[in-house]
Amino acid sequence: MSWWLLLYSFSMPARSQPRKCTGALDIYRSPDAAALEYALGMALEVIPHLVLEELHLRPVPLSKPLAL
């Protein structure tokens, strides 16, 4: 549930203030850009696996360990 909350909270400002969010992801101007990119990258790895588990209604082992 935390992943859904994180992605939802990222999407709200992206819709209402797209220029500010684009600036926040600029690695050369924003001190938070690296952390935001890391969180979004982890979400790309984790969310599909969680959806697969829900579709199968059982835990599904990961094929490879997550790269932290």
Residue 64 covered by a domain: no
Residues constituting the chain:
68
pLDDT for 29 beyond 90: yes
How confident is the model over 15-27, as pLDDT tens digits?
A: 999 999 889 999 9
What is the helix, strand, coil percentage profile of the chain, to 5?
70, 0, 30
Residue 48 covered by a domain: yes
Number of domains in the chain: 1
- Stated pTM of the model: 0.67
Structural domain harbouring 27: 2-56
Across residues 38-64, what is the average pLDDT?
86
Residue 63 covered by a domain: no
Residues 6+ apart with CB under 8 A from 6: 39, 43
